[in-house]
């Protein structure tokens, strides 16, 4: 199982992992997903990318987390929690729309230091490919 986790973490297209807590207290991969960025999105600042990634990941797994009242989201970016807790302080309507979409979910946001989040943190978004299906912005 550890080999599978390591290979998933090394994947250049991986962006998020949905883990399930087993009866033995270990986390097991349930779903994996990637987020491709178009030309405009690839120019976002790191802060904006972290928030947008959370927004897109939550919406991508909403079918699997529907009616789960206590799931945890782990991020290595501390500032995302502040952005979510203080949406009116953000000067951008797009960011506020993402925050509103994030707040539709009931979850606990946990900061995991980058050195403990190294497998996922080392992943980069792959560039948009011609074979990728179009992403409909119907959020």
Report the CATH number at residue 68: 3.30.420
For residue 96, tell me if it sits in a domain.
Answer: yes
Write out the residue range of the structural domain in which residue 23 sits. 16-122
Q: State how far the alpha carbon of 41 is from the alpha carbons of 45, 56, 59, 78, in Å.
A: 9, 12, 17, 21
For residue 11, tell me if it sits in a domain.
Answer: no
For residue 134, tell me if it sits in a domain.
Answer: no
Whole-number Å distance between alpha carbons of 56 and 87: 17
For residue 56, tell me if it sits in a domain.
Answer: yes
Q: Which residue has the higher pLDDT, 57 or 11?
A: 57
**Tokens read off for 121:** 């943190």
Q: Which residue has the higher pLDDT, 105 or 41?
A: 105
pLDDT digits (tens, 9 = 90+) for 5-52: 666 555 433 357 788 888 998 888 787 777 777 778 878 888 888 888
For residue 130, tell me if it sits in a domain.
Answer: no
What is the structure's pLDDT at 9? 56
Tally of domains within the chain: 1
Helix, strand, coil % over all residues of the chain, rounded to 5: 40, 20, 40
Whole-number Å distance between alpha carbons of 61 and 16: 10
For residue 6, tell me if it sits in a domain.
Answer: no
Whole-number Å distance between alpha carbons of 40 and 47: 15
Confidence of residue 2 (pLDDT cuts 50, 70, 90): confident
For residue 5, tell me if it sits in a domain.
Answer: no
Q: Report the range of poorest mean pLDDT among 29-43, 48-62, 114-128.
A: 114-128
Confidence of residue 122 (pLDDT cuts 50, 70, 90): very low
Q: Where are the beta strands (DSSP E) in 40-98?
A: 71-75
pTM: 0.70
């Amino acid at each position: 199982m550890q080999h599978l986790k390591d290979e998933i973490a090394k994947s250049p297209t991986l962006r998020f992992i949905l883990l399930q807590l087993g009866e033995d207290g270990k986390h097991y991969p349930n779903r994996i997903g990637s987020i491709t960025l178009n030309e405009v999105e690839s120019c976002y600042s790191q802060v904006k990318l972290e928030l947008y990634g959370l927004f897109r990941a939550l919406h991508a797994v909403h079918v699997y987390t529907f009616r789960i009242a206590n799931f945890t989201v782990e991020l290595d970016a501390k500032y995302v929690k502040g952005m979510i807790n203080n949406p009116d302080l953000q000067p951008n309507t797009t960011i506020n729309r993402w925050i509103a979409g994030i707040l539709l979910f009931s979850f606990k946001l946990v900061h995991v230091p980058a050195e403990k989040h190294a497998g996922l943190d080392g992943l980069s978004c792959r560039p948009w490919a011609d074979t990728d299906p179009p992403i409909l912005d119907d959020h």
